[in-house]
Amino acid sequence: MFGVAGDGCPPRFRMARDDEMRIVVDVLHRRGVLCTVPELFMLGSDRCRVALCADETPPAVLIEPTAPKVTLAVHGRAGSPALRQYLLEVEAGIGFMVAPELEPMVVSTRRNPRVLSMRVLSSSRARPGLRPEPAGVREVLAPRHEDALSRLSAEGRGFLECYHSLNEFLSSAITGVASVVDGEIVSICVVYARAGDVCEVAAYTRPEHRGQGHALAACIPCIERIVAARCRPAWTAVDEASWRLGIKAGLGPVGEKLYVMFEHPAA
Protein backbone atom coordinates (compact mmCIF):
# COMPACT_ATOMS: atom_id res chain seq x y z
CA MET A 1 0.00 0.00 0.00
CA PHE A 2 3.05 2.30 -0.13
CA GLY A 3 2.34 3.18 3.49
CA VAL A 4 -0.69 5.35 2.70
CA ALA A 5 -3.92 4.41 4.45
CA GLY A 6 -6.79 3.48 2.18
CA ASP A 7 -5.06 4.07 -1.13
CA GLY A 8 -3.07 1.68 -3.30
CA CYS A 9 -1.12 4.52 -4.91
CA PRO A 10 -0.27 7.86 -3.23
CA PRO A 11 -1.62 11.18 -4.55
CA ARG A 12 0.29 12.59 -7.56
CA PHE A 13 1.71 9.10 -8.24
CA ARG A 14 0.55 6.32 -10.53
CA MET A 15 1.71 2.76 -10.99
CA ALA A 16 4.65 2.67 -13.40
CA ARG A 17 4.08 0.87 -16.70
CA ASP A 18 6.48 -1.76 -17.99
CA ASP A 19 7.77 0.62 -20.65
CA GLU A 20 8.67 3.16 -17.92
CA MET A 21 10.99 0.89 -15.95
CA ARG A 22 13.98 2.29 -17.84
CA ILE A 23 13.09 5.73 -16.45
CA VAL A 24 12.99 4.31 -12.92
CA VAL A 25 16.35 2.56 -13.33
CA ASP A 26 17.90 5.79 -14.66
CA VAL A 27 16.64 7.68 -11.60
CA LEU A 28 18.26 5.12 -9.30
CA HIS A 29 21.57 5.18 -11.13
CA ARG A 30 21.67 8.94 -10.79
CA ARG A 31 21.30 8.48 -7.04
CA GLY A 32 24.43 6.32 -6.92
CA VAL A 33 24.36 2.62 -7.64
CA LEU A 34 26.26 1.72 -4.47
CA CYS A 35 23.41 3.16 -2.41
CA THR A 36 20.59 1.47 -4.33
CA VAL A 37 21.70 -2.12 -4.89
CA PRO A 38 18.67 -3.74 -3.16
CA GLU A 39 16.24 -1.56 -5.13
CA LEU A 40 17.93 -2.36 -8.44
CA PHE A 41 17.98 -6.04 -7.44
CA MET A 42 14.22 -5.95 -6.82
CA LEU A 43 13.55 -4.20 -10.11
CA GLY A 44 15.70 -6.66 -12.03
CA SER A 45 13.89 -9.65 -10.55
CA ASP A 46 10.38 -8.15 -10.76
CA ARG A 47 9.91 -8.29 -6.99
CA CYS A 48 8.46 -4.88 -6.27
CA ARG A 49 5.72 -2.42 -7.05
CA VAL A 50 6.74 0.97 -8.40
CA ALA A 51 4.83 4.25 -8.13
CA LEU A 52 5.95 7.05 -10.43
CA CYS A 53 5.33 10.79 -10.63
CA ALA A 54 6.50 11.50 -14.18
CA ASP A 55 5.29 15.12 -14.01
CA GLU A 56 8.46 16.07 -12.12
CA THR A 57 12.03 16.28 -13.38
CA PRO A 58 13.63 13.97 -12.46
CA PRO A 59 10.59 11.79 -11.79
CA ALA A 60 9.77 10.93 -8.18
CA VAL A 61 9.81 7.19 -7.52
CA LEU A 62 8.51 4.95 -4.73
CA ILE A 63 9.71 1.33 -4.69
CA GLU A 64 7.84 -1.16 -2.52
CA PRO A 65 9.43 -4.65 -2.49
CA THR A 66 7.10 -7.61 -2.31
CA ALA A 67 9.55 -9.57 -0.14
CA PRO A 68 8.76 -9.37 3.58
CA LYS A 69 10.73 -6.87 5.68
CA VAL A 70 12.65 -5.40 2.73
CA THR A 71 12.35 -1.64 3.07
CA LEU A 72 10.39 0.83 1.00
CA ALA A 73 12.64 3.22 -0.96
CA VAL A 74 11.91 6.85 -1.87
CA HIS A 75 13.71 8.66 -4.68
CA GLY A 76 13.34 12.14 -6.14
CA ARG A 77 14.65 15.67 -6.03
CA ALA A 78 14.83 17.70 -2.86
CA GLY A 79 11.65 19.77 -2.56
CA SER A 80 9.60 17.43 -4.78
CA PRO A 81 5.89 18.34 -4.30
CA ALA A 82 4.87 14.72 -4.89
CA LEU A 83 7.30 13.38 -2.28
CA ARG A 84 6.35 16.13 0.17
CA GLN A 85 2.67 15.18 -0.08
CA TYR A 86 3.56 11.52 0.30
CA LEU A 87 5.62 12.23 3.41
CA LEU A 88 2.73 14.18 4.93
CA GLU A 89 0.28 11.32 4.42
CA VAL A 90 2.40 8.20 4.97
CA GLU A 91 1.32 6.14 7.97
CA ALA A 92 3.21 6.19 11.23
CA GLY A 93 5.43 3.16 11.67
CA ILE A 94 6.41 2.95 8.00
CA GLY A 95 10.18 2.75 7.48
CA PHE A 96 11.89 3.71 4.24
CA MET A 97 15.23 4.57 2.65
CA VAL A 98 15.98 8.05 1.31
CA ALA A 99 19.04 9.81 -0.06
CA PRO A 100 20.76 12.27 2.32
CA GLU A 101 19.73 15.29 0.25
CA LEU A 102 16.07 14.54 1.09
CA GLU A 103 16.64 14.78 4.85
CA PRO A 104 15.66 18.49 5.17
CA MET A 105 12.33 17.81 3.47
CA VAL A 106 11.71 14.73 5.62
CA VAL A 107 12.44 16.62 8.84
CA SER A 108 10.30 19.60 7.82
CA THR A 109 7.19 17.55 7.07
CA ARG A 110 6.89 15.51 10.27
CA ARG A 111 7.48 15.86 13.99
CA ASN A 112 10.40 13.93 15.47
CA PRO A 113 11.12 11.49 12.65
CA ARG A 114 13.66 8.78 13.45
CA VAL A 115 16.53 9.29 11.01
CA LEU A 116 19.35 6.75 10.99
CA SER A 117 22.46 7.54 8.96
CA MET A 118 23.80 4.50 7.11
CA ARG A 119 27.32 4.81 5.72
CA VAL A 120 28.27 2.89 2.58
CA LEU A 121 31.69 1.30 2.10
CA SER A 122 33.23 -0.29 -0.97
CA SER A 123 36.57 -1.29 -2.45
CA SER A 124 38.04 -3.00 -5.47
CA ARG A 125 40.21 -5.28 -3.35
CA ALA A 126 40.36 -6.46 0.24
CA ARG A 127 43.27 -5.41 2.41
CA PRO A 128 45.91 -8.18 2.37
CA GLY A 129 47.28 -9.88 5.44
CA LEU A 130 44.10 -9.86 7.54
CA ARG A 131 43.53 -13.55 8.19
CA PRO A 132 42.00 -14.01 11.64
CA GLU A 133 41.56 -17.66 12.50
CA PRO A 134 39.00 -18.10 15.27
CA ALA A 135 37.95 -21.59 16.28
CA GLY A 136 36.05 -23.25 13.47
CA VAL A 137 36.41 -23.41 9.71
CA ARG A 138 35.42 -21.16 6.82
CA GLU A 139 33.15 -22.68 4.18
CA VAL A 140 31.72 -21.23 0.97
CA LEU A 141 27.93 -21.39 1.27
CA ALA A 142 26.44 -24.03 -1.04
CA PRO A 143 23.24 -26.11 -1.29
CA ARG A 144 24.58 -28.53 1.35
CA HIS A 145 24.29 -25.70 3.91
CA GLU A 146 20.52 -25.26 3.50
CA ASP A 147 19.63 -27.10 6.71
CA ALA A 148 22.30 -25.29 8.74
CA LEU A 149 21.08 -21.91 7.46
CA SER A 150 17.48 -22.82 8.27
CA ARG A 151 18.54 -23.31 11.91
CA LEU A 152 19.69 -19.69 12.22
CA SER A 153 17.45 -17.39 14.23
CA ALA A 154 14.88 -15.19 12.50
CA GLU A 155 17.40 -12.33 12.83
CA GLY A 156 20.05 -14.35 11.01
CA ARG A 157 17.69 -15.51 8.25
CA GLY A 158 16.65 -11.89 7.80
CA PHE A 159 20.00 -11.25 6.12
CA LEU A 160 18.71 -13.41 3.25
CA GLU A 161 15.35 -11.64 2.99
CA CYS A 162 15.86 -10.45 -0.59
CA TYR A 163 15.50 -14.04 -1.79
CA HIS A 164 12.29 -16.05 -2.01
CA SER A 165 13.92 -19.12 -0.44
CA LEU A 166 17.18 -20.53 0.87
CA ASN A 167 17.37 -22.69 -2.25
CA GLU A 168 17.22 -19.61 -4.47
CA PHE A 169 19.93 -17.90 -2.44
CA LEU A 170 22.20 -20.95 -2.51
CA SER A 171 21.75 -21.24 -6.27
CA SER A 172 23.16 -17.73 -6.82
CA ALA A 173 26.44 -17.27 -8.67
CA ILE A 174 27.99 -15.68 -5.55
CA THR A 175 26.51 -16.66 -2.19
CA GLY A 176 28.84 -15.98 0.72
CA VAL A 177 31.05 -17.56 3.34
CA ALA A 178 30.23 -19.11 6.73
CA SER A 179 32.25 -19.68 9.87
CA VAL A 180 31.32 -23.15 11.11
CA VAL A 181 31.88 -24.63 14.57
CA ASP A 182 30.95 -28.27 15.33
CA GLY A 183 28.86 -28.45 12.18
CA GLU A 184 26.81 -25.36 13.03
CA ILE A 185 27.00 -22.00 11.26
CA VAL A 186 27.94 -19.35 13.81
CA SER A 187 28.59 -16.46 11.40
CA ILE A 188 27.82 -15.61 7.78
CA CYS A 189 28.90 -12.98 5.30
CA VAL A 190 26.53 -13.07 2.33
CA VAL A 191 25.58 -11.26 -0.87
CA TYR A 192 22.38 -9.60 0.37
CA ALA A 193 21.51 -8.32 -3.11
CA ARG A 194 23.23 -7.91 -6.47
CA ALA A 195 22.73 -5.32 -9.19
CA GLY A 196 25.00 -5.65 -12.24
CA ASP A 197 28.57 -5.86 -11.02
CA VAL A 198 27.81 -4.53 -7.52
CA CYS A 199 27.15 -6.93 -4.64
CA GLU A 200 25.62 -5.63 -1.42
CA VAL A 201 27.31 -7.53 1.42
CA ALA A 202 25.79 -8.26 4.84
CA ALA A 203 27.09 -10.14 7.87
CA TYR A 204 25.53 -11.82 10.89
CA THR A 205 27.00 -13.63 13.89
CA ARG A 206 25.12 -15.56 16.56
CA PRO A 207 25.13 -13.53 19.81
CA GLU A 208 27.00 -16.17 21.82
CA HIS A 209 29.85 -16.20 19.27
CA ARG A 210 30.31 -12.45 18.84
CA GLY A 211 33.62 -10.80 19.65
CA GLN A 212 35.65 -13.86 18.63
CA GLY A 213 36.60 -12.81 15.09
CA HIS A 214 34.12 -15.03 13.23
CA ALA A 215 32.50 -12.18 11.28
CA LEU A 216 35.79 -10.77 9.98
CA ALA A 217 37.05 -14.26 9.18
CA ALA A 218 33.96 -14.81 6.99
CA CYS A 219 33.89 -11.30 5.50
CA ILE A 220 37.41 -11.26 4.05
CA PRO A 221 37.07 -14.41 1.89
CA CYS A 222 33.55 -13.38 0.89
CA ILE A 223 34.80 -10.00 -0.35
CA GLU A 224 37.74 -11.68 -2.08
CA ARG A 225 35.32 -13.99 -3.92
CA ILE A 226 33.26 -10.99 -5.06
CA VAL A 227 36.37 -9.23 -6.36
CA ALA A 228 37.60 -12.42 -8.04
CA ALA A 229 34.29 -12.52 -9.92
CA ARG A 230 35.11 -8.99 -11.18
CA CYS A 231 32.36 -7.44 -9.09
CA ARG A 232 32.38 -4.62 -6.55
CA PRO A 233 31.39 -5.18 -2.92
CA ALA A 234 29.15 -2.63 -1.20
CA TRP A 235 28.76 -2.61 2.58
CA THR A 236 26.12 -0.57 4.40
CA ALA A 237 27.22 0.17 7.97
CA VAL A 238 24.23 0.60 10.27
CA ASP A 239 26.25 1.27 13.44
CA GLU A 240 29.82 1.72 14.67
CA ALA A 241 30.43 -2.02 15.02
CA SER A 242 29.36 -2.58 11.42
CA TRP A 243 31.52 0.36 10.29
CA ARG A 244 34.59 -1.00 12.06
CA LEU A 245 34.03 -4.47 10.61
CA GLY A 246 33.80 -3.11 7.07
CA ILE A 247 36.96 -1.02 7.54
CA LYS A 248 38.86 -4.02 8.97
CA ALA A 249 37.79 -6.05 5.93
CA GLY A 250 39.56 -3.52 3.69
CA LEU A 251 36.62 -1.42 2.50
CA GLY A 252 36.51 2.36 2.32
CA PRO A 253 33.73 5.01 2.49
CA VAL A 254 31.93 5.91 -0.74
CA GLY A 255 28.58 7.42 0.26
CA GLU A 256 25.65 7.57 2.63
CA LYS A 257 21.94 6.81 2.76
CA LEU A 258 19.27 7.37 5.37
CA TYR A 259 16.68 5.16 7.00
CA VAL A 260 13.61 7.06 8.21
CA MET A 261 10.64 6.02 10.32
CA PHE A 262 7.65 8.20 11.26
CA GLU A 263 6.25 7.51 14.70
CA HIS A 264 4.02 10.58 15.10
CA PRO A 265 1.20 12.20 13.15
CA ALA A 266 2.06 14.72 10.44
CA ALA A 267 2.90 18.24 11.59
Given this model, what pLDDT does residue 69 score?
A: 72
Residue 210: the pLDDT is 93
For 37-61, the DSSP string reads HHHHHHHHTT-EEEEEETTSSSPEE
Spatial CA neighbour of 28 closest among 189, 186, 187, 193: 193
Q: What is the pTM of this model?
A: 0.87
pLDDT tens for the chain, residues 1 to 267: 686 655 578 999 999 999 999 999 999 988 887 778 999 999 988 889 999 999 999 999 999 988 777 788 999 999 999 999 999 888 777 889 998 999 999 989 888 888 999 999 998 665 655 566 777 799 999 999 999 999 999 999 999 999 989 999 999 999 999 999 998 999 999 999 999 999 999 999 999 999 999 999 999 999 999 999 999 999 999 999 999 999 988 899 998 999 998 876 555
Query: Which residues are registered as beta bridge partners of 190?
Result: 176, 202
At the second CATH level, the architecture of 124-250 is 3-Layer(aba) Sandwich (3.40)
Confidence at residue 36, expressed as pLDDT on a 0 to 100 scale: 87
Region of 12 (left: φ > 0; alpha: ψ -120 to 50; beta: rest) is left
What are the residue boundaries of the structural domains of the chain, listed by start?
14-118, 124-250
